[in-house]
Amino acid sequence: MTNHSNQHKVTISDVLRLALPVKTAVFSGAAQARRTVHWVSLLATWSDLSNQIHTGDIILVPPHLQQILSENNLQAKFAEMTEFGIAGIILFDPISDNLAESVSHSSYTLFVLPPGNAVRDIHKGIATLLVDRQYATAERGMQLYRKLAEMSREELGLHAMTDLISNLTGKIVIVQDKRLEIKASSAPRKANIDLDFPTLLELVAQREQLPAVLRNRKAAAKARPTYWQQILPIENIGRLVSPIISGDRARGYLSIVGPADELDLMDSLAVEHGAAACALEMAKAKAVSEAKKALRGDFLEGLLAGTLPTKEIKRLEGRLDYDTHQPHAAITTTWSGPEAPSLRRLETSINWLLRNHSRPALVHIYGETHICIFQALKNEEDMETAVEFGRRIKEHVAKEFPDAHLIAGLSGPALELSDWPKIYNEAMQAMQLGDRLQLDEVVEFNSLGVYRVLVQLEDIPSVRQFTEQVIGPLVQYDRQHRS
């Protein structure tokens, strides 16, 4: 059956992308990829080939027919079939490297399927593609989603998922988080694209390259359509991008990149279904992260408040997946002033900075009032890494939230876990005093000097009474007379 419509014609490349298993091996010249396929013929016998084969056919050779011939005889049969002008041959059993090499420059394409594929299923898939390309493409998209969801359940990760999408589409695939950091990326082994990969990754990391509606994560979750097509500022390079939606906002973005004139229906289905599958993977990772965060919160709050018995602290410590036996410094920080961003946003910024920090740390929102950070030190003399991290927090927050004011305190080192409450309280004192003195820096407890004594005097009843009776009237007089 021949279809002369360019819009609906099926090529060798289409058969590979839309009907054959992802790990199918292909042996042919690059020029064969655009060759038109007219029909699929299931070979019944090696004799009487003229009544079984027609020009433009893809020939399915069942395993039992392949197995009864030596490779030399098989190669001779391939040569005989070539005379009929076939488009390709599909084998179900592996072949030797010598046979693969001998057919690599032939006028047809040889496909060798991975193990475990039924002849009936392959025949049906190709025939469906030839009869109803749109239906076959939609079905392939659903197969992709089911496979990606299965990979997520098996915890194969985003890299394996992008590899699958890339091999299926023949395009570059990129997964980014909400900050546009690359979480996974894959390129096909034989990409039909002349592009510097690092340059592309740098380009898509720029927020202004996103469609305007996708730059707001809540708006992206409600926007329609589910994917966008755009031309990148690289010659003839296009991108399909879809938000990865979990809950009421976008958690990231999936992009398929390739020559602008080659992005087709399968690519659009792949980016749409791929984003949905990545949402499952990211939601699962988020749930694991939240569980770990809750465990660390229970541990820190119980330890710092002194409400947990030693046995329970040891039990929680063993489940932390974190080394608490190293020396640590404590940093406390919060917003000062009205209309400040949420502590969750501050926590997100701190965790993002930790990815590129030289030392690990535990981060926790304490009592919905402030954030405490316990950062591991290289040794008991190493407070510099904690000072550096505090400085980076201040600098980053000043850029991300220019209208907000952050206060922070620092203390340490704590050589034992039992010392953590002490340095935490000292960091809190430093933070609070820094706020009162309007110090725009991370205040180190050890730099407070005489202020450490004054802070302690403040809580003595007799000092408070003296302040109210003697200093209070003086302050009131100054205010009344503006002196």
Is residue 84 domain-shared with residue 146, that is, in the same domain? no
Instruction: Indicate the residue type of 157.
Output: G
Q: 454 by DSSP, 3-state: which?
A: helix
Same domain, 147 and 238: yes
Last residue of a domain, one of 267, 286, 305: 286
Q: Which residues make Cβ contacts (< 8 Å) with residue 346, sequence separation at least 6?
A: 333, 334, 335, 371, 397, 406
User: How much is the pLDDT for 192?
Assistant: 58
Is 444 found in the same domain as 375?
yes
Question: Is position 476 within any domain?
Answer: no
Q: How far apart are CA 125 and CA 133, in angstroms?
A: 10
Give the HSE-up count for residue 164: Cα atoms under 13 Å, Cβ half-sphere.
25
- pTM for this one? 0.75
What's residue 1's pLDDT?
33
pLDDT digit string, tens, across residues 5-36: 345 689 998 999 999 998 899 887 656 788 89
Q: Is residue 106 located within the same domain as residue 154?
A: no
Could you give the C-alpha distances from 329 to 304, 413, 427, in angstroms and in order?
14, 5, 9
pLDDT of residue 452: 58
Same domain? For 342 and 444 the reply is yes
466 in any annotated domain: no
Looking at the structure, tell me whether residues 147 and 123 fall in a common domain. no
**How many of the other CB atoms lie within 10 Å of CB of 470?**
9
Map residue 104 onto helix, strand or coil: coil
pLDDT at 137: 92
Runs of H (alpha helix) within 173-322: 197-204, 217-222, 265-305, 310-318
Q: How many residues does the chain have?
A: 483
CA angle 168, 171, 173 (to 5 degrees): 90
* Residue 100 forms part of a structural domain: yes
Regions of the chain short of the pLDDT cut 70 = 1-8, 29-31, 190-194, 449-460, 462-464, 466-471, 483
* Exposure letters 207-241 (e unless 16+ CB within 10 A, then b): eebbeeebeebeebbebeeebbbeebebeebbbbb
Count of domains for the chain? 3
Q: What angle do CA 240, 231, 134 make, to 5 degrees?
A: 40
413 upstream amide cis, omega within 30 of 0: yes
d(C-alpha 270, C-alpha 144), whole Å: 7
pLDDT tens, residue by residue, 118-168: 999 999 999 999 999 999 999 999 999 999 999 999 999 999 999 999 999
Do 240 and 371 have their domain in common?
Answer: no
Q: Mark whether 107 and 61 lie in a shared domain.
A: yes
Same-domain status, 20 and 82 = yes
Let me know: does 278 contact 161? Beta carbons within 8 Å.
yes
Give the domain-ending residue among 131, 156, 174: 131
Mark whether 148 and 186 lie in a shared domain: yes
d(CA 102, CA 117): 25
pLDDT (0 to 100) of residue 248 = 87
Residue 426 domain-assigned (yes or no): yes
Indicate if 228 and 120 belong to the same structural domain.
no
Q: Is residue 474 in some structural domain?
A: no
Q: Which residue range forms the structural domain that includes residue 189?
A: 141-286
Whether residue 298 lies inside any domain: the answer is no
